[in-house]
Amino acid sequence: MITYFQAIIIGLLQGISELFPISSLGHTVIFPTLVGWNIQRNDPLFLNFLVATHFATALVLFFFFWKDWVNIAKGMGRSLYARTIAADDYYAKLGWLLVVGTIPAGMLGLIFKEKLQILFSSPSIAAIFLIGNGLLLYGAEILRGKAPENNDENTSDQRVARLTWSQALKVGVAQIIALIPGFSRSGATMAGGLLTGLSHEDSLRFSFLLATPIIGAAAALELPAFFMAGNHNLMGPAILGAVCAGLTAYLAIKFLVKYFHTNKLTPFAIYCAAAGVISLLILYFR
Could you report the per-residue pLDDT of 235-250, keeping only the tens digit for each?
Answer: 888 899 999 999 999 9
Angle at 96 between CA 115 and CA 137, to 5 degrees: 55
CA distances from 197 to 147, 151, 176 (A): 8, 12, 20
Separation in Å, CA 54 to CA 16, 60, 130, 274: 11, 10, 20, 26
Cα gap 268→274, rounded to integer Å? 10
231 pLDDT above the threshold of 70: no
The gap from C-alpha 218 to its chain's centroid, in whole angstroms, comes to 12
pLDDT at residue 144 in the model: 87
Instruction: State the CB neighbour count (10 A cutoff) for residue 229.
Output: 13
pLDDT for 234: 76
Biggest CA–CA distance in the chain, Å, is 64
Rg over alpha carbons for the chain, rounded to the nearest Å, is: 19
Mean pLDDT of all residues in 66-78: 96
Amino acid at site 47: L
Whether residue 63 has pLDDT greater than 80: yes
SS3 state at 139: helix
Stated pTM of the model: 0.90
Query: Is residue 50 scored above 80 in pLDDT?
Result: yes
Structure-derived torsion over alpha carbons of residues 107, 192, 59, 224, reported in degrees to the nearest 10? 20
Return d(Cα 61, Cα 55) in angstroms, integer: 10
Q: How many CA atoms lie within 13 A of 116 on its CB side?
A: 18
Q: What is the pLDDT of residue 111?
A: 63
Percent share of the chain, pLDDT over 90: 60
119 pLDDT more than 60: no
Q: What is the mean pLDDT of residues 111-128?
A: 72
Cβ pair 127, 280 in contact under 8 A: yes
pLDDT of 82 above 80: yes
Residue 164 pLDDT grade (very low, low, confident, very high; cuts 50, 70, 90): very high
For the segment 113-137, the average pLDDT, to the nearest whole number, is 82
pLDDT at 100: 93
Report pLDDT for 176.
83
Cα angle: 134, vertex 177, 283; to 5 degrees? 55
User: Quick one: pLDDT at residue 220?
Assistant: 73
In the predicted model, what is the mean pLDDT of residues 69-85?
A: 95
Q: According to the model, what pLDDT value does residue 262 have?
A: 87
The chain-wide mean pLDDT, for the chain, equals 88
Q: How many CB atoms lie within 10 A of CB 18?
A: 29
